[in-house]
Amino acid sequence: MKKKLIKNFPLKLLSLALAIFLWAVVVNVDDPVTSVQFSNVPVEILHPEVVTSKGKTYQIEDETDTVRVTVKAKRSVLHNMSASDIRAYADMKEMSLGSQIPIEVSVPGFEYTEAYSSPRNLQVTIEDEAQNTFPITPTTTGSVRDGYVLGEIKADPEKVKVNGPKSIIERIDKVVAEVDVTGLAEDTVLPSKLVFYDADGKTIDNTLLTLQDLKDETDVSVRVEVRNTKRLRLTFDTSSITAADGYVFTGIETEPTEVQVSGSSDVLKDLDEIEIPAEALNVQNLDSKEEVVVDITPYLPDGVELIDKNAGAVVVTIGIEEEGSRTLEIPTGSIAVNNLQDGLQYSYVSGNNLEIKVQGDQDILDSLELDEGSLSINLVTYKEPGEYDVPVEVKLPAGCSLAEDVVIKVRLEQIDNEETE
């Protein structure tokens, strides 16, 4: 039996070795060692206090804060591996040349032959750390609901203290918190996010900035006040206006006659007008028409604001006439036109209004109103295109007459054939 076991022993030993070799080959063919690249692996910074404890800060250059990592291992191992399993880190203690830190790579929990990053070094810039406090400027986009306007807009907090590299801190020109107010119809607090801008209006990357007293750039809100709107007429107390001897005060005209204001619904609901006291028109001994500019802003009720801040300046025209006379301003559109020649069309050169000075009994003049059709022109003798001074016929009630003849400049033009077809 023993002879049979040891018979051809060298051959049997060779066969065993060959079998082991073939098994290794088969295993290696089925699960070979290969390599795979993983992209966008973040680089962890170790021991940053090496820099920060000296009042310095660092900035990662050349986008080396993420790297490509090559891992060499068996195919079956690589099949179960992902970028999140890889740890790439740069230890500040290993910094060389003041700007390069070797990047080390490991894949905990996996058997692998080799792992390395590309690039192999983290590039950093070391500079002084700085701090500054900036006001937060709230801004809005969109429009509130029709019939409403924006009131006060206030950021919370109103300012922010920022730490970071001196070069970045010095670039910051404005810190903005923007919110969308589209469709708002009531006071609202909206979440916002801080955006940093330089003097050219370009956004600044805030990755390396630290916000004091805030968790991050989203830890800010904006209070938005939404106000109702209403149009209010202007009423003036004219009791302090006096005319000189031989003249009479005939009233005022204002431009504008009303203004649009904003305020809370409780304040606006009972308001229909803005009353301007006599002190605003304290004008004495006038002997001719005069224009006065009145600032109505001081006379706005509490809680009411002008929507157009420039609308506070109101032009008041004070009418003054000689006793026994009155000047009427008549729209030129109310003048009847008679006997216009065929093929001609007319327009008025002298504007949209015509002044007519009437004299007579003062009591009649005070209530004088000219009805439509009281003024007319006759174009029967004007047969050619051109500009003409045409007399105006005015029908006046008994006891009144024209203080002077009334003439209006009329332009006559040929009608194009295309217009008549």
**Strands 375-378, 336-338: parallel, antiparallel or unpaired by DSSP?**
parallel
d(CA 141, CA 180): 5
26, pLDDT greater than 60: no
Of the candidates 154, 191, 198, the residue with the CA atom closest to the CA atom of residue 173: 198
Which tens digit of pLDDT belongs to each residue from 259-300? 999 998 888 988 999 999 999 999 999 999 899 999 999 999
> Does residue 403 contact residue 333 with C-beta atoms inside 8 Å?
no
Q: CB within 8 A of 208, min separation 6: which ones?
A: 57, 59, 164, 165, 168
Judged against a pLDDT cut of 90, whether residue 216 lies above it is answered with: no
Mean pLDDT of the region 347-359? 88
Give the pLDDT of residue 420: 46
Identify the band that residue 6 occupies on the pLDDT scale cut at 50, 70 and 90: low
Looking from the CA of 329 toward its CB, the CA atoms found within 13 Å total 9
Structure tokens at 159: 């300012």
How far apart are alpha carbons 216 and 231 in whole angstroms?
44
SS3 for 117-159 is EECCEEEEEEEEEEEEEEEEEEEEECCCCCCEEEEEEEEECCE
Closest CA to 379 of 408, 399, 350, 355: 408
Give SS3 for 164: strand
pTM, full prediction: 0.54
Q: How far is CA 386 from CA 168, 178, 210, 301, 382, in A?
A: 72, 60, 78, 55, 9
26 vs 318 pLDDT, higher one: 318
289-311: pLDDT as tens digits: 899 999 999 999 999 999 988 88
Q: What number of helices (H) and strands (E) belong to the chain?
A: 8, 29
* CB under 8 A, 24+ apart: contacts of 101-104: 103/43, 103/64, 103/67
Q: Contacts for 192-201 with beta carbons within 8 Å, 24 or more apart?
A: 192/138, 192/155, 192/218, 192/220, 192/221, 192/222, 193/217, 193/218, 193/220, 194/136, 194/160, 194/218, 194/220, 196/172, 197/172, 197/173, 198/171, 198/172, 198/173, 199/171, 199/173
For residue 421, the model assigns a pLDDT of 46
